[in-house]
Amino acid sequence: MIRRIVQFQQALGRAFLYFRYRSRSGYDAARFWEQRHQRFQSDFRAVASVPEEEHTRYPKQKQQFLDFLAAQQIGAAGSVCIEFGCGNGFWGQVVLASGAKRYTGMDISATAVAHCQKSVPGGSFRCCDLGSPGEFADIQADMAISIDVTQHIVSEEKLSQFLRNMSTSVCEGGHIIVTSYTGCGNQYTESPNNVILGFFRLPALRWVYAWDVSTIQKHLVGCELVGSASIWDKTILAFRKTGRERK
């Protein structure tokens, strides 16, 4: 009985998110992430499923990320790095600790950016919608990274612009590092409904989407895939910008 009550409360919570953040394009990402960072003051609860991931998932992901860069012979030391979706600043701290010469983090949440400006010394930060057309060519980084972000882009049009912006921000010969759920095609990972007691249905906000490698590669025009590996429950992909369109 208690379990049923908890399930019902959780379903009501998910339905509340649906009515609060739904939009024609899937969900209102700017409002969703800004209010999430405001609520949790940009600590790990703003970007993780459960608070415990700060001590489990993130240290393991950090090591997997660094091992992947080493295996692909992509050096963070001495590089100019830009991050698309800096969140609470975790990955900015990682690349700066690895010797990055310059780091710029960008996020859709103004609260996240303000937090990073205080908690990540040595970095610079911008608040902008990374899935909209914009000017990203002024940095010309050696490496652009986006970790645990693409799954929160639920429109292929937005994903395409997001990846074009990443490519624009990187100089020729530079690298683009992204993660995604792969191997299951392009699809939402959540059900559109909360099913309670086997028959009662409430709508659920769907804000996690799996993008396959071929789709990501299609939208990174002028870039070639040079490596991939597992990172926690996703795949990490490395692309090199060649400037040449694939035939």
**What's the CATH number where 220 sits?**
3.40.50.150
Report whether pLDDT(131) > 80: yes
Give the integer Cα–Cα distance in Å for 211 and 180: 6
27 domain-assigned: no
**194: three-class secondary structure by DSSP:** strand
Q: What percent of the chain has pLDDT over 70?
A: 94
Tokens in use for 130?
Answer: 């990374």
Residue 48 is predicted with a pLDDT of: 87
Query: Count of H helices and E strands in the chain?
Result: 7, 13
CB atoms within 10 A of CB 230: 11
Alpha helices in the chain (DSSP H): 2-21, 29-40, 57-71, 90-97, 110-119, 156-168, 213-219
Q: How confident is the model at residue 16 (pLDDT cuts 50, 70, 90)?
A: confident
98 domain-assigned: yes
58 domain-assigned: yes
CB atoms within 10 A of CB 198: 5
The residue type found at 7 is: Q
128 domain-assigned: yes
Give the integer Cα–Cα distance in Å for 227 and 146: 15
Mean pLDDT for 24-41 is 94
Q: List, in order, residues 6 or more apart from 63 with CB less than 8 Å away.
A: none
Mean pLDDT for 142-159 is 97
Tokens in use for 62?
Answer: 């950090």
Eight-class DSSP state of 72: T
Mean pLDDT for 175-192 is 95
Tokens in use for 29?
Answer: 């990402």
Eight-class DSSP state of 121: T
Report whether pLDDT(144) > 80: yes
The domain containing residue 166 runs over which residues?
A: 54-188+207-241
pTM: 0.93
Q: How far is CA 92 from the centre of its chain?
A: 13
225 domain-assigned: yes
Residue 247 is predicted with a pLDDT of: 44
199 domain-assigned: no
CB 141 within 8 A of CB 171: yes
45 domain-assigned: no
59 domain-assigned: yes
CB 112 within 8 A of CB 123: no
Could you give the number of structural domains in the chain?
1
Q: Which of 162, 159, 143, 105 is nearest to 241 (CA)?
A: 143
- φ/ψ of 221, rounded to 5, equals -65, 135
**83: three-class secondary structure by DSSP:** strand
Angle between helices 57-71 and 90-97 (to 10 degrees): 40
